[in-house]
A and B are shown apart, each in its own frame.
Chain A
Amino acid sequence: MLSIRGLSKVYRGKATPAVSNVDLDLRPGEVLGLVGLNGAGKTTTIRVAAGLVYPTAGHVAVNGLDLTRDKAEASRYIGLVPEFPNFEPGSRAINQLRYYAGFYGVTGAAARELCTELLRKVGLSDMDQVRLRTFSQGMKKRFSLAASLLGDPEFFLLDEILSGLDPEGVLLARNLMVDLRARGHGILLSSHILSEVQQVADRVAIMHEGRLIKTLTRDEVEMTEGATLRLTIENLDDPGMELIRTYGTVRRDGNTVWITHPNLDPGQINTELIRHNYKVVSLGFESLNLEQAFFDAVRGPPPKAP
């Protein structure tokens, strides 16, 4: 298990902590989503968990090994894909990967074979002799994903892995995560794309202003109430929108409107709209539950109408 206990991090020259007193466990065979606004402390948490920066307080342990004290040994259990990976620009992809493989004790022909296979796995098999300076951000992400697979680590720390990836890359990453989870690997997935997190995460940790404010299970996410109500109204007009705005936060696309945290029951809303001669074609909740849960956690749920 990857265990984060009492983690705080204050960067040099900064008054406020980037992360404050975070406790988190990542278990084998689970995907733990890590969500939060910009500056919430997600990346710092991952960087400390990967051993890239020292914690100011608290500690990170993986399978009982302290990541500060036993860094070299503990890192064998961790594969990292940073948000903005960077590599030696003048190095060829295969050479850079083989250099990394050496740290896992894989050298020579075995390293070449392994690295070629990993590049194939992330869709870069024809780029093995290309210098990394020519790689796009998406290709760097794929390459970083291949590098994280070296040594077959038990845990993966994926920081915004989907950003910069093309749709094919997103699919590849998603399938890889599902596959890794099925094989018993634990994944800490930090992402701004809540729908992606919701798709694959078994649990979701919500961070805000450096603190871990809530951890939800998949069931808890899906059970979240006060979700977004979706209505399609055939004769929707401006006075109709004025009326609907009194029911909650509203977003409109053509004849469809979404009401976040409606302050009336759906039946009451439906009745009111009919009473005002609007023809409601469809009405129902959408499963944007993580988003709601997130904003609930960050801002607090809106008060219900009396």
Chain B
Amino acid sequence: MKLFPWHGFLYELRRGLMSIPLLVLTALIILAAFSILAEIASTQPAPSTFPEESGAYFFTDGEYHFEFYAYTQSDVPISGAVFTVNIYPPNETQTVPLTSLANGTGSTGSSGMVEFAVPLNGTNYTAIMQWSPPNAPLGFGGPGPLLSVFRPPPGVTSVFGSSWTATIQTTHRFLLSYNLLIYYPGPNGTAPPNYQVYWAASPNESLPASPLPEGSMHRLGSLNSPAEAFSPVVPAYPVSTTYGPFQEQSNGYLQVELFTTTGHLVAMDTNQSVSNFFPPLPEAGTREALAFGGIFMVYLAPLMAILATYSVYGRDRLTGVLEGVLARPVSRLGLATSRYLAVILALCIAVSLAMACLDGLVYWVYGGFVSLYGALTLFSSLLVEVGAFAGVTFLLSHTFRSAGGLVGISLGLFALLTVGWLIIPLLIGGVTGTLFTPGYETAMVHLDFLNPVQFYTLAQYQYFASVPSNFGLFSMGPTHPSAYGITLGTLIATGLAWTVLPLVGFFYSVRHWD
């Protein structure tokens, strides 16, 4: 005779998984997870539409050719932007009034690009560039600075200003991220001839003294058009692993160099800060997931456990359905064990499904999964919760003889351990005048050990104290959780106690009570 009724177990597992409370609450958790999107969408600004420009010039056939690229800060080409260049004698120092030697003007096309020529034959001039996007007056940002224009050697294109890289905003999933825009036309304004783009990050604030060789830099790609965006993956600067106020990491600059395909240096730029290109911090998504877990999952999971247990065991026992099964060749303990395991496994599957959806959502939004440690923190806490509440409901099924009594006391217990747990200490603290004193805080943390719903809070304390984090430890300030008795060992012991003790009580009642 088999001791464990596998057939019954599988039947009950299927029944548990298909029970309406489990389906509804799992769906509710998953739907609630989408609130992350709403939160992100409400806090993230839209990519900027502020206009920017970059320009270059070259000399050929007795004319200076000027090229300009008009774009928004999110790298959308601006069509219809009007550029004007006024040429003045060299070494001009005044801006107004001036009499120009020559001038040129042009309007950008749909690519955001424009090129126009100014017939001049000298080798040295001063220029003032003015431009305006559509629907803005010419020189909307005021007269531009005086620019020195030196006739470039034949076939060489010079860019205006000392820098030719810019950060641009893009939407990376639901978050803004930053890319590197490189504006660098090829010889005589042609498309760049497959320039190789390299970058390196310097942790120091000081600029590099000299160009770096290709071998000591990271390749970004090939530049084949005058304006092209790249995504340098700059690893986040190591964050502090010491406990306490976090240390930020934004120093340093991005050094970008262009090389010809034969390895000849074309240009170098150190205009951009590396911090612009840091990926989202790995724990950002984890933090969001843990916050979501604290708001929704830890409160819905006990409800799920209570109602699923009632559906699969409590109601059957109270209505006599279970007796119809017990009349079969099955031991009481075998039947109880199979139902318990079926409910627990169904709850685990539901929790896993909800967590997988949450993880997928975090990946979608943040571009990275919830960290393993973070996922374990949330998952193990939820398991402790559902184990405790399922076990208690199993036990109460043998204590109460009416469905109302069983469900009522289970939900009452849930209310006490969730809402009541928040309100009652406040009332006691308020009455005794100890509210938010160190003693009160310590007592609250210690009391959390007595509540399976609060197990998650304790696990979070431990999590944030154990991982490199920028986020500190909630209200504990600089105090390490171990000062409150929160260690991995005490957490494991508490979790086991909450899952095992109700189970032992349940099995005792099965063995000794009708």
Contacts and interface: CB of A to CB of B under 8 A. Distances in A.
Contact of B332 (A50, A71, A86, A88): A71
B325 interface: yes
B320 A86 contact: yes
Contact of A102 (B3, B8, B323, B326): B8
B316 interface: yes
A76 interface: yes
A278 interface: no
A80 B330 CA distance: 14
A271 to B, nearest CB: 58
A82 B8 contact: no
A74 B164 CA distance: 88
A103 B514 contact: no
Interface string B384-401: 000000000000000000
Contacts of A52: 323, 326-327, 514
Contact of B329 (A12, A87, A103, A107): A103
Nearest to B332: A71
B256 to A, nearest CB: 66
B324 A12 contact: no
B428 interface: no
Given A53-B514, A88-B316, A103 B330 contact: yes
Contacts of B514: 11-12, 52-54
Contact of A51 (B3, B324, B327): B327
A102 B324 contact: no
Chain B interface main SS type: helix
A50 B232 CA distance: 75
A88 B513 CA distance: 23
Interface in A6-35: 11-12
B321 interface: yes
Contact of A100 (B1, B3, B328, B513): B328
A76 B329 contact: yes
Interface residues of A, number: 33
B321 A87 contact: yes
A166 B329 CA distance: 30
A86 B320 CA distance: 6
B215 to A, nearest CB: 68
A85 B325 CA distance: 11
Interface string B473-514: 000000000000000000000000000000000000000111
A121 to B, nearest CB: 18
A205 interface: no
Contacts of A99: 7-8, 11
Nearest to A13: B401
B331 A71 contact: yes
B8 to A, nearest CB: 6
A144 B320 CA distance: 13
B316 A103 contact: no
Interface string A209-253: 000000000000000000000000000000000000000000000
A75 B328 contact: yes
Contacts, number: 75
B323 A82 contact: yes
Contact of B513 (A12, A47, A148): A12
A78 B327 contact: yes
Contacts of A144: 324
Interface in A57-104: 71-73, 75-76, 78-80, 82, 84-88, 99-100, 102-104
Nearest to B321: A86
A102 B7 CA distance: 6
Nearest to A151: B329
Interface residues of B, number: 25
Given A12-B514, A88-B321, A103 B5 contact: yes
B111 interface: no
B14 to A, nearest CB: 10
Given A54-B514, A72-B1, A86-B320, A107 B330 contact: no
A273 B220 CA distance: 126
Contacts of B11: 99, 102
A122 B329 CA distance: 22
Contacts of A54: 512, 514
A91 to B, nearest CB: 8
Given A54-B514, A107-B7, A82 B320 contact: yes
Contacts of B294: none
A51 B326 contact: yes
Nearest to B12: A99
A104 B324 contact: no
A147 interface: yes
With most chain B CB atoms within 10 A of its CB, the pick from A84, A102, A148 is: A102
A84 B8 contact: no
B324 A75 contact: no
Interface in A96-154: 99-100, 102-104, 107, 144, 147-148, 150-151
Nearest to B512: A54
A100 B324 CA distance: 9
B334 interface: yes
Nearest to A143: B324
Contacts of A147: 324
A75 B513 contact: no
Contacts of B7: 99, 102-103, 107
A86 B332 CA distance: 18
B319 interface: yes
Interface string B14-55: 010000000000000000000000000000000000000000
Given A73-B1, A78-B327, A103-B5, A86 B334 contact: no
Contacts of A47: 323
B150 to A, nearest CB: 87
Contacts of A88: 15, 316, 321
A71 B118 CA distance: 104
A100 B322 CA distance: 11
Nearest to B328: A103
5 contacts: A82-B320, A87-B324, A103-B330, A147-B324, A151-B329
**Which 4 pairs of residues, A with B, have the shortest CB-CB distance?**
A102-B7, A103-B328, A86-B320, A80-B327
